[in-house]
Amino acid sequence: MDDRPVEQQLLVIYERLFACYGPQYWWPAEGPFEVIVGAILTQAAAWGNVEKAITNLKAAGALSPAAFRRLPLTELAVLIRPIGYFNAKALKLKAFAIWLGDNCADDLGGLFAGATTHLREQLLGIHGIGQETADSIILYAAGKPSFVIDAYTRRIVSRIGLSAANNSYGGYQALFMEHLPVDAGLYNEYHALLVRLAKDVCRRHPSCERCCLNEICRFCRGLTLSEK
């Protein structure tokens, strides 16, 4: 990107994104349990379909850990049918609900009260919850600082020209968490803005001319030079 310290580069990116798009008010949900359900359902699914699935769950009075445990897998799968892999995701929802009941008596406040590292370890031990989903739950449901890395973030970081320590989830996460203030609000807004940029212009085939980061993006500069 340039020769400035990584900390400054990341803050410049954030400032440009915020100036362009403003606050994103993410995660859109009514309470932490709905955030968790959304985080599980959104794996490899469009958010619009996740919203349809959650609407179905609400209409059926089934958006609760107790309901997930009570419903047969087939009935739960029918309710979340708008998303892809609904059978597998029904199993994931039920697995989380069973774990939450067995280990926390459905008390999310108690679950979130411990250290972030311990919470992350617990979540990663539940069927169907990987690193991105765990960090989404930690950041957006628990309000604790854990930067979420997704395909959008990897794409933008790579195109801009910043380097992660390695091409792993942890490498990309460390790029942000080791060079930004430890602040859940900042992580929340930053990740949401990156998602907005990726969906708006930094797509697989990007619209660099409309991007608020084009002046500091190595990928865009490379396109410009190739056209000369």
| Residue-level pLDDT, tens digit, the chain, 228 residues | 566 899 999 999 999 999 999 999 999 899 999 999 999 999 989 999 999 999 999 999 999 999 999 999 999 999 999 998 999 999 999 999 999 999 999 999 999 999 999 999 999 999 999 999 999 999 999 999 999 999 999 999 999 999 888 889 999 999 999 999 999 999 999 999 999 999 999 999 999 999 999 999 999 987 654 443
Q: Do 24 and 192 form a contact (C-beta atoms < 8 A)?
A: yes
* Degrees to nearest 5, angle at CA 213 with 207 and 214: 55
For the 6-24+148-226 domain, the top CATH level (class) is mainly alpha
Q: How far is 190 from 24, CA to CA, in rounded Å?
A: 9
pTM (2 d.p.):
0.93
Q: Do 109 and 148 form a contact (C-beta atoms < 8 A)?
A: no
Provide the 10 A C-beta neighbour count for residue 59. 10
In this structure, which amino acid lies at residue 218? Answer: R
The domain segmentation of the chain, as residue ranges, is: 6-24+148-226, 32-141
pLDDT of residue 1: 55
CATH number assigned to the domain covering 32-141:
1.10.340.30
